[in-house]
Amino acid sequence: MTVKLGVPSKGRLMEKTFQWFGARGITLARSGSDREYAGAVDGIENVSLVLLSAGEIPRELAAGRIHLGVTGTDLVHEKLVLWEQSVKRVEELGFGHADLILAVPKAWIDVDTLHDLDAAAAAFRRTHGFRMRIATKYHRLVREFLREAGVADYALVDSQGATEGTVANETAEAIADITSTGETLRANHLKILSDGLMLRSQATLWQSRTAPLNREERASLHELLRRLG
Amino acid sequence: MPTRAQTNAKAAALRAHFEAHGAQAIEPPLLQPAGTLLDLYGEDIRARAYVTSDALRGEQMLRPDFTVPVVQMHMADGAEPARYTYAGEVFRRQERHADRPNEYVQVGYEVFARDDPAASDAEVFALISRALADLPVRAITGDIGMLMAVVAGLQTSQLRKEALMRHIWRPRRFRALLEQFAGRTPVSPARRALLEGKVACDAPLVGLRSHREIEARITALKNDAKVPPIKARDVQMIEALLDIGAPMPDALARLHDLSVDLPAIVPAVARVSARMDALAARGIDVASLMFDASYGRASMEYYDGFVFGFKARDRTDLPPLATGGRYDALTRRLGDGTEIPAVGGVLRPGLILELEGVV
């Protein structure tokens, strides 16, 4: 068997990952047509490429079906409970920077901090009869963050895309999402709370703590990590 | 670890013990509509309870406790006064503690009665205490109503009292608010600018929260800025209250001392005193029973008066074998315009067997 390396299957994250490995003498490539999710590895023996959605890589690492994987810190923290027990961080790759933040309408000039948000949420619930809604796909991270901050009277609503638009569409009052430049937030008339930074994320190479390794695989993994280090 | 059969047998025996004392056995459903629980606890409940759903009924939760369905059942068609007992599984997500069970059996006893709350408190405590009589356990009691009474008695604005009251069960946030209201937290530049009317915004307002709501909060903040800080003496009073942890008679003496400076808490202290007498009348050794004024605050519960727990003396690794308390406000929230004083507690037969050394 081979050492399995999971890499995001499309977009800039895939290209940048290929470049990062290429700069270290290991060529990753998609084989066949653009639509086929198969990959090839050149420059090192006994390593195979597994192309996956970035969101599935944490789960595959934790289940031990891949030995190494590239994905964002945000996804590992959100999807893996007690993530330190199932994966180990090998290297931050220096791209794919994104911050998980909490944002509210810019016109809410009375809301600058999480404490303000809590007070506004209490008043909102009294006025509207339901809890202030926060749209996100990072349910666990947001819930833990808000519990730590002592924010009550909110409800999370699931949003898997175009999250910044939910406020104008009146399906949420605030959002928690990743942002890199803040451009989309500004375009949607939102602002980040002054203490609303939950997590700084970037593309990171992770090693599974659970994937089984025979002697040959162990040697290959060791060699791969040496070349990357 | 005891087997499931052993645990169920123990649960049945405990329930029979409560039935023998006049409780009616009830069997609330395992699946609870998620809306009620979410409305009561907010988003935090999702971290503790399992959520499932179907296309017809929407979200359902595997019951994380019995109290809510028991209260609903009673408020719908209960006689008065009423005593209930039940036994069955509850389900709790344990994402942070893989070693704790996510499914375990509880046996409970709940009293809904308008007369003599102190006697009802003592009745529940004494029955549960008797069920644990042969075990090396240590009881601890408290009263969330004491802290509520102190907050209600503070010399400050109604808004500040409401803000503190809302965070009684979140000790850190409560502390931060208290510091802020006592003028010990510097006003942030952003807040100062807002209060001075120097914050403008050219972005269009998006979303459901209206200009009127924003203006109302700014007005409230401006009014709040004129409220004098809560006096250091009052902050000390809260600290002195939360610091009380002593056998009941000593604790009561200190509560009496506090009430000299803060007459608003006299009725709450009288309730603690009446409860102590009622416990003694039930044969409880109150001279050695601990009263800890901060007990019960950190758990996400609905208790607003008497609270208690029983912990294994030499097994600090075990969760409490029994917990309970008074939840008058919960009956009001679920009662749709009606309310009734209520108190109850649950035992965990699995832990009792473990402590008894049954294998």
Domain ranges of chain A: 3-97+202-228, 98-201
What are the backbone angles phi and psi of residue A220, rounded to the nearest 5°? -65, -45
Alpha-carbon radius of gyration of chain A? 20
Examine the pLDDT at B359 and tell me if it is beyond 50: no
pTM score of the predicted model: 0.88
- Cβ of A189 and B173 within 8 Å? no
Rounded Cα distance between A134 and A57, Å, is: 26
pLDDT-based confidence at residue A33 (cuts at 50, 70, 90)? low
Domain ranges of chain B: 1-136+341-359, 155-229
Residue environment code for B166-178, b if the CB has 16+ CB neighbours within 10 A, otherwise e: bbebbeebbebbb
Cross-strand partners of B82: B112
Rounded Cα distance between B124 and B48, Å, is: 26
* Secondary structure in 3-state letters for chain A: CCEEEEEECCHHHHHHHHHHHHCCCCEEEEECCCCCCEEEEECCCCEEEEEECCCCHHHHHHHCCCCEEEEEHHHHHHHCCCHHHCEEEEEECCCCCEEEEEEEECCCCCCCCHHHHHHHHHHHHHHHCCCEEEEECCHHHHHHHHHHHCCCCEEEEECCCCHHHCCCCCCCCEEEEEECCCHHHHHCCEEEEEEEEEEEECEEEEEECCCCCCHHHHHHHHHHHHHHC
CATH class of domain segment(s) B1-136+341-359: alpha beta
**Residue range A88-135, pLDDT digits in tens:** 999 999 999 999 999 999 999 999 999 999 999 999 999 999 999 999
Amino acid making up residue A227: R
CATH class of domain segment(s) A98-201: alpha beta
Examine the pLDDT at A34 and tell me if it is beyond 70: no
Q: What pLDDT is attached to residue B292?
A: 96
In chain B, which residues have their Cβ closer than 8 Å to the Cβ of A125?
none
- What distance lies between CA A167 and its chain's CA centroid? 22
pLDDT-based confidence at residue A35 (cuts at 50, 70, 90)? low
Tell me which residue in A108, A146, A188 faces B214 most closely, judged by beta carbons.
A108
B114 contact partners, CB below 8 Å, separation of at least 6: B80, B81, B340, B341
Rounded Cα distance between B70 and B65, Å, is: 10
Tell me which residue in A150, A173, A189 faces B208 most closely, judged by beta carbons.
A173
Q: Could you tell me how many helices (H) and strands (E) chain B has, helices first?
A: 15, 12
Q: If you count residue pairs, one on A and one on B, with CB atoms under 8 Å apart, how many are there? A: 103
CA distance A199 to chain B (A): 19
Q: What mean pLDDT is reported for chain A?
A: 93
CA distance A180 to chain B (A): 21
Please determine whether the domains at A3-97+202-228 and A98-201 fall in the same fold group of CATH.
Answer: yes
CATH homologous superfamily of A3-97+202-228: Periplasmic binding protein-like II (3.40.190.10)
Cross-strand partners of B342: B112
Is the peptide bond between A212 and the residue preceding it cis, with omega within 30 degrees of 0?
A: no
Q: Tell me what ipTM this predicted complex has.
A: 0.88
Q: Using N-to-C axis directions, what is the helix angle for B34-41 and B67-77, rounded to 10°?
A: 110
**Residue range B202-239, pLDDT digits in tens:** 899 999 999 999 999 999 999 999 999 999 999 999 99
**Does residue A81 sit at the B interface (CB-CB below 8 Å)?**
yes
Q: Using N-to-C axis directions, what is the helix angle for B266-281 and B144-152, rounded to 10°?
A: 160
Q: Which residue from B268, B276, B265 is spatially nearest to B119, judged by alpha carbons?
A: B276
Q: What pLDDT is attached to residue B97?
A: 78
Q: What mean pLDDT is reported for chain B?
A: 93
What are the backbone angles phi and psi of residue B310, rounded to the nearest 5°? -125, 120
Q: Parallel, antiparallel, or unpaired: how do β-strands B290-292 and B306-312 relate?
A: unpaired
- Cβ of A143 and B208 within 8 Å? no
DSSP letter string, B76-91: HH--SSEEEEEEEEEE
Tokens in use for A106? 């810019």
Tokens in use for B260? 């000299």
Question: What is the average pLDDT across B299-328?
Answer: 90
**Residue range B153-173, pLDDT digits in tens:** 999 999 999 999 999 989 999
- Cβ of B47 and A143 within 8 Å? yes
CA distance A156 to chain B (A): 7
Examine the pLDDT at B300 and tell me if it is beyond 60: no
- Cβ of B38 and A155 within 8 Å? yes
Rounded Cα distance between A175 and A185, Å, is: 10
**Residue range A41-80, pLDDT digits in tens:** 998 999 999 999 999 999 999 999 999 999 999 999 999 9
**Residue range B122-162, pLDDT digits in tens:** 999 999 999 999 899 999 999 999 999 999 999 999 999 99
